[in-house]
């Protein structure tokens, strides 16, 4: 097995390698003076099972290009199998036509990853399940639920939390986590007036006097989560926390979270934390390195990956 790390999230790649007790493959991913991406593999990978670890988070286009060029370098180096390990799959929110003459960029990205040389893809908590069908190669979509459920049980022993989906589209995800910890479920019905702006309309479920835990896959501007936290508090919730798979947290999102009623926002290290995230008093990060490493090992050994979530 060979692990190749690009520049998107080097600390996560190092943590995965440490868990598997192997060294990262000696490779360089650098730029020419005009910012062209250049990749060079400094080890023999002929006939090897190679895993390229690279989220396509900010800067999304640079990180995506690094991934594609690395896949091509390995393909041309006669690697036996190449797996793109993408902890955060960028462009996932562009999974359908939302208005006339708009692209379905998730499908485009799936196509170019396939053409670049990937034989398989491993990712985490896709924004929507149908993206799996955009790929013509096998895709393993891992889930954060085991990581989140363990942390919730350790943080709130003896509590009776209620899991809350911040919108109707996230109900399946929230229900899955609720069933793991045997908790009740509530749903926030919201209307989005325009991109990046949401308005909470109604809460489906009784949250009065309860500890509420919001669950989502992506937090970007954090407007939805903060509005949801305000609505839950107004409905009588004793405390509100949020567990989100991918902490994009762009622009003034961290400041918005810090000044919100959220007691804590828990994200994973699928995206490398910025300095603002590390300094925020109510933002905490959980590692997915063991989960990703176990999946990589099982794929390499030709064992079941889905049994990780039984």
132 is in an annotated binding site: no
**Does residue 179 carry a pLDDT above 70?**
yes
**231 or 194, greater pLDDT:** 231
| pLDDT tens track for 28-50 | 999 999 999 999 999 999 999 99
Taking the complete model, does pTM exceed 0.85, yes or no? yes
User: Does residue 219 share a domain with residue 173?
Assistant: yes
User: Does residue 160 share a domain with residue 115?
Assistant: no
User: Does residue 181 share a domain with residue 130?
Assistant: no
| pLDDT tens track for 132-164 | 999 999 999 999 999 999 999 999 998 889 999
Record the tokens describing residue 61, joined without a space.
């286009």
User: Does residue 219 share a domain with residue 121?
Assistant: no
167 is in an annotated binding site: yes
Instruction: Report the pLDDT value the prediction gives residue 61, as an integer from 0 to 100.
Output: 96
User: Does residue 150 share a domain with residue 95?
Assistant: no
Pairing of strands 37-41, 27-31: antiparallel
Say how far apart CA 28 and CA 113 lie, in whole Å: 20
Given 150, 190, 233, 281, the catalytic residue:
190
Mean pLDDT on 42-64: 97
User: Does residue 129 share a domain with residue 235?
Assistant: no
Q: Is residue 128 part of a domain?
A: yes
Q: Which residue has the tokens 């300094």?
A: 279
233 is catalytic: no
Instruction: Report the pLDDT value the prediction gives residue 198, as an integer from 0 to 100.
Output: 56
Q: CB of 212 within 8 A of CB of 164?
A: yes
Q: Is residue 19 part of a domain?
A: yes
In three-state form (DSSP H/G/I as H, E/B as E, the rest C), the secondary structure along 21-37 is CCCECCEEEEECCCCCE
220 is in an annotated binding site: yes
Q: DSSP secondary structure string, 95-144? A: -S--STT---HHHHHHHHHHHHT-SEEEEES-SSGGGGGG-SS-EEEE-S
User: Does residue 283 share a domain with residue 149?
Assistant: yes
Pairing of strands 120-124, 49-53: unpaired
93 is in an annotated binding site: yes
Domain range for 226 is: 145-287
User: Does residue 173 share a domain with residue 74?
Assistant: no
User: Does residue 138 share a domain with residue 11?
Assistant: yes
User: Does residue 248 share a domain with residue 193?
Assistant: yes
- How many structural domains comprise the chain? 2
Torsion of CA 283, 162, 172, 225, to 10 degrees: -40
Mean pLDDT on 3-27: 97
34 is in an annotated binding site: yes
Q: Is residue 295 part of a domain?
A: no
| pLDDT tens track for 227-245 | 999 999 999 999 999 999 9
Domain end among 104, 120, 142: 142
User: Does residue 90 share a domain with residue 155?
Assistant: no
CATH number, position 164? 3.40.50.2020
221 is in an annotated binding site: yes
């Amino acid at each position: 097995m060979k692990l190749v790390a690009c520049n998107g999230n080097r600390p996560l790649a190092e943590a995965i390698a440490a868990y598997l007790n192997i060294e990262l493959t000696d490779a360089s991913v650098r730029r020419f003076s005009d910012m062209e991406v250049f990749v060079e593999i400094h080890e023999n990978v002929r006939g090897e099972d190679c895993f390229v670890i690279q989220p396509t988070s900010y800067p999304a286009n640079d990180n995506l290009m690094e991934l594609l060029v690395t896949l091509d370098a390995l393909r041309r180096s006669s690697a036996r199998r190449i797996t793109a390990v993408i902890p955060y799959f960028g462009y996932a929110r562009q999974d359908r036509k939302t208005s006339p003459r708009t692209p379905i960029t998730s499908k485009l990205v799936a196509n170019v990853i396939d053409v670049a040389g990937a034989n398989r893809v491993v990712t985490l908590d896709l924004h929507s399940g149908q993206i799996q069908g955009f790929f013509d190669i096998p895709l393993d979509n891992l889930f954060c639920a085991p990581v989140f459920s363990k942390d919730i049980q350790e943080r709130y022993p003896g509590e009776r939390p209620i899991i809350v989906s911040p919108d109707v589209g996230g109900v399946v995800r929230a229900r899955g986590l609720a069933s793991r910890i045997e908790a009740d479920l509530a749903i926030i019905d919201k209307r989005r007036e325009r991109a990046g702006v949401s308005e909470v309309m109604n809460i489906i479920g009784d949250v009065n006097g309860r500890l509420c835990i919001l669950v989502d896959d992506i937090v970007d501007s954090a407007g939805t989560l903060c509005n949801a936290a305000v609505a839950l508090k107004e409905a009588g919730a004793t405390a509100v926390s949020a567990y989100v798979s991918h902490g994009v947290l762009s622009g003034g999102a961290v400041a918005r979270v810090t000044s919100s009623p959220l007691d804590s926002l828990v994200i994973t290290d699928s995206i490398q934390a910025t300095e603002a995230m590390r300094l925020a008093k109510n933002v905490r990060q959980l590692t997915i390195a063991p989960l990703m490493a176990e999946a990589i090992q099982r794929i390499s050994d030709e064992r079941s990956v889905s049994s990780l979530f039984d």
